[in-house]
Structure 1
Amino acid sequence: MFVREGGAEDNPQRTLKEQNVFAVLHQLGFSGNLYAMQSEMWFYSNTMANNIAYREQIGAEPRNRGKSVDDMLLVDEMKRGMAQGNASGKHLIILHTKGSHFNYTQRYPRSFAQWKPECVGVDNKCSESGTDQFLRQ
């Protein structure tokens, strides 16, 4: 994962034959933070991020009490990460949004429910409005 085509063995473990992109960035002096609305720690450890905050952790923060646990919570996390940064200016921020995962009705604030009858499946048309708003932040 996170390697060029041919950079991993074609086996169930996907054994790496070369360093992944995050290992290379780390060697080049980059620090990194990962903020996620999912909880796939096995996946996140491959990023070599200095700090990892995931859905349950972010949602449990006192500053987020009473808020919907959706992608928009990542905006403030990202801003905090950018403020911390790295003295050299080499800082990578990884955002793993809910994006097109899960049910449309569970991914975005209700204010984005603009398709009637409401989409309840996973398709690009339903996710674009909320994703676009998130990226504009």
Structure 2
Amino acid sequence: MKTIIKGLLIASIAFSGIAIHSVAQEISTLRNETKLDEQKTPNKIYQVNNSDIKQKRNYPMQPPLIPHTIRNYEVNLNTNKCMACHSRQRTEESQAPMVSVTHFMDRDGNFLAEISPRRYFCSQCHVTQQDTKPLVENTFIDMHTLMKAKTDPK
């Protein structure tokens, strides 16, 4: 009986080793085919679109994209560099759009004098853009085009 159990245990270990080896060959990593003792050539770092031109939104309630670089912008509990231009008091001087009135509402819908704490960290919703080739094919159709196609008889 012990011999049978040992045989089954050895067979299962051998089979799992084969299965792990075949799965390991299918797993893709950031290193790709680069060996561990070699240095991979780093991917190109693209420049952030810094045109200051507003980009169209693709769907209702989409957070606006940031049309400028935000490198070295400090946003923490004590400082929010974005508000140096986008706060209610600074928009006339900076000519930057004021943050949405929704950013001054608490979770109960009450308006506050300052930015709501849940809307304070801008880059959790707003992102910069880079002019790069898409990583994957994109067949996205914006809401306006989609609705127009449904209402236009052809």
Higher helix share: 1
Q: TM-score, normalised by structure 1?
A: 0.25
Larger radius of gyration: 2
Name the one with the larger strand percent.
Answer: 1
TM-score when scaled to structure 2? 0.23
